[in-house]
Structure 1
Amino acid sequence: MTSFIALLRGVNVGGITIRSAELRELFDGLGFEAVRTVLASANVAFESPRADAAALKREIEAALAERFGYDAWIVLTTAEHVRAVIDAFPFDAADASRQPWVVFASAASVLDELARGEGLDPAVDPIARGDGVVYWNPVKGTTTDTPFAKLLSRARFTPTTTNRNLRTLAKLAG
């Protein structure tokens, strides 16, 4: 049995509303076990005996699209990988003046482009490339205002990236 984590992109923003109970019901209906949602339904932890993550991703996206009527895109990873991502966070996650974020993307090339951080001030926008992620540790309260935040919000990145706070990931990974 593999413990998976599904991170849904674009849920509960832009008119796409999915309640946690409905999301759990959908994942239960797909035959997954130990299904639980974390924080307003954009995050699902579950277990499956099937190990083909690519096939599971396609199945989940198709079920989300059919049930909720939107062009679903998710990041599907394992709880083990998320724990490793958390453990590898390269900044001081305990620094109360900062907000520790992890950016996931649909392709390594997107992460590479984001991690180059051309023109970014590392004191304002500390970023680092990790295993399948980009780490970001902005000053608390600036996550929509910094140059990296503006880079993430560009039209070419918004459909293929999703980010989560390190604390949310810790809750998901258990």
Structure 2
Amino acid sequence: MTSTWYCALLRGITPGKPNMRNEKLRGVFDGMGFTGVASVLSSGNIVFAAETTDTTALEGRIRGALRGELGIGGETIVRSRSELVTLVDTEPFGELQHARETYLTATFLKEPLEPVPEPFPEPDEPAVRIVGYDPGARAVLAVSDNTSSSSPDFMAWLERRFGKDITTRTWLTVHRILKRMPDCA
């Protein structure tokens, strides 16, 4: 069987805590027998290759190992390289560039939205605009304007609307994750 490249998007990682440092996280993934283990930034993004296509099983196995070995209780969301490539290739943000006034984010949901609400809900925050929902990557895509002195409480809105089994990454981070994953296993 050939390996598939994945990224584990770990929720609630604080790099200042000793058990949440990249070397400890990578150690857990190495210990599970995954190959090509690497971290991206210091916010809980671990890329790896595995010989399974069952992402639900991977999520459970990783979550259990992180809790058992490091005492980390946050959620684990796994996306394959192909899911992330397809998301990026759709160019959901068009010509927008990531900046303070156009802060681009992808919020990955544990479970797909079924059905996808029409119209898609909009936050009460005037500084935030939902660009769309990508069903393949199970991601809510948004643009925030962070130039005002009061920062929008978009993360709280996301949790109220979609639950706590979510995790948000900047669009730049999504691109950095993909750069760490080889084109083939």
So what's the TM-score if we normalise by structure 1? 0.83
Runs (4+) of structure 1 moved beyond 6 Å? Answer: 13-16
Counterpart AA for 1:30: M
The structural deviation recorded for 1:69 is 1.3
Q: 1:111 to 1:6 in 2, by over 3 A?
A: farther
Pick one of 157, 160, 164 that aligns with 1:151. Answer: 157
The structural deviation recorded for 1:22 is 0.8
Give unmatched runs, 5+ long, in structure 1: none
Is 1:93 matched with 2:133?
A: no
1:162 maps to what in 2? 167
User: Given that residues 109 and 167 in structure 2 are in contact (C-alpha distance below 8 angstroms), is that contact kept between their aligned partners in structure 1?
Assistant: yes
Size of the alignment, in residue pairs?
170
Query: Counterparts of 1:106 and 1:135 in 2: how far apart (Å)?
Result: 15
The structural deviation recorded for 1:171 is 1.0
1:134 maps to what in 2? 140
Give unmatched runs, 5+ long, in structure 2: 180-185
Identical columns (%): 25
2:72 maps to what in 1? 70
2:34 maps to what in 1? 32
User: Given that residues 15 and 21 in structure 2 are in contact (C-alpha distance below 8 angstroms), is that contact kept between their aligned partners in structure 1?
Assistant: no
1:45 maps to what in 2? 47
Q: 1:43 to 1:14 in 2, by over 3 A?
A: same
Counterpart AA for 1:169: V
Pick one of 56, 60, 63 that aligns with 1:61. Answer: 63
The structural deviation recorded for 1:158 is 5.9
Query: Counterparts of 2:142 and 2:122 in 1: how far apart (Å)?
Result: 11
Q: 1:58 to 1:21 in 2, by over 3 A?
A: same
